[in-house]
Structures are given as structure tokens and as C-alpha cells.
Amino acid sequence: MTTETYHIEKDIQVICVTAKSFPDGIQEAFQQLNEVLPEPKDRTNYGLSRPQGAGIVYKAAAAELYPGEAQALNCSSMQIKKGRYISTVIENFMDKPQAIGLAFQKMLENPGILDPDAYCVEIYFNPEQGCRIRDVRCMIRLKDQ
């Protein structure tokens, strides 16, 4: 797995639906998110996860199209912080279902460089015709210098 530094230039406000379970509830959370969103195809989709208690909390998320959109839709929101992230890209991730978890495990082996409050972030991109997303960038925010 090759990692690189990825920069997010400005904070990203996202609309979230929390999965009922991890990992089994992820697909359902994205389905619920897409049902609430007007124009779901015009947005960047994210997955946000972090340890909580004995498990992992996962949020299916999509970028707000305007400030306060999550509140207007009666949805949860959160912010993906600008800054430097350690990252790796997984192409055709649906063909390798374990690859996302393995990528995050590898990046988490260096906790001293990571922002301790950061989420593991997935950015989905490269949709095929018919809207199926093909690739994912997995990343974790680095500590501020």
C-alpha cells in the first residue's frame, strides 16, 4: 500500500446518517442518506468512522450544497477539517471489500503523527456510468505542525 499526503484546503460541512451497526449497517446508512438528499448524485460522498466504546461508529455523509442544508433537512451534520491527511487510493474497492479496513489499519500504525480527534475518512470518486462509485481515497488527518 502506497501512502501520500493529501491536502484539504478548506473545512467541508457534511450531512450525516449514522449506521446502526458496523460494518453491516453501512449500505443502509448510505441508502437512508440518499433518500433524504435532494440531488444526491451531484454531491461528493464520504464515509466517516472512529472507535467508540468497544465498537466503531460509522457515518455515511455527503457534502452540503449550501450552509445550513443539514439543519434544513433535519439531519445531523459535522465538519471534515481542513489540513494535511495521510492517504491512499483504492481502485475498484467493491472488488476488494477488505481493502478499506486494511488501509486504515496500516495508517493507524503511526499514531504519533495522527490527529487524535480525527475520523478515518473515505472519499468516494470516479463514478461509472449508471452511478456506481468505483474508487475510494482513505485518509486520516495528521497533527497540525
Residue numbers of the domain that contains 131 = 4-141
| 42-84 confidence digits (pLDDT tens) | 789 999 999 998 899 999 999 999 999 999 999 999 999 999 9
Is residue 4 predicted with pLDDT exceeding 90?
yes
* Tally of domains in the chain: 1
Q: How confident is the model at residue 15 (pLDDT cuts 50, 70, 90)?
A: very high
The SS3 of residue 11 is coil
Residue bearing the bigger pLDDT, 125 or 140: 140
Query: Using alpha carbons only, what angle is made at residue 41 by residues 17 and 38, rounded to the nearest 5 degrees?
Result: 65
Q: What CATH number is given to the structural domain containing 11?
A: 3.20.80.10
3 has pLDDT over 60: yes
Q: Which residue has the higher pLDDT, 51 or 133?
A: 51
Model confidence pLDDT, tens digit, residues 81-94: 999 999 999 998 88
Note whether 70 and 76 are within 8 A (CB).
Answer: yes
Amino acid 61: pLDDT: 97
pLDDT, the chain, mean: 91
Kindly state the average pLDDT of the residues 130-138.
Answer: 77
Report percent pLDDT > 90 for the chain.
Answer: 75
Separation between Cα atoms, residue 29 and residue 32, nearest integer Å:
5
120 has a pLDDT exceeding 70? yes
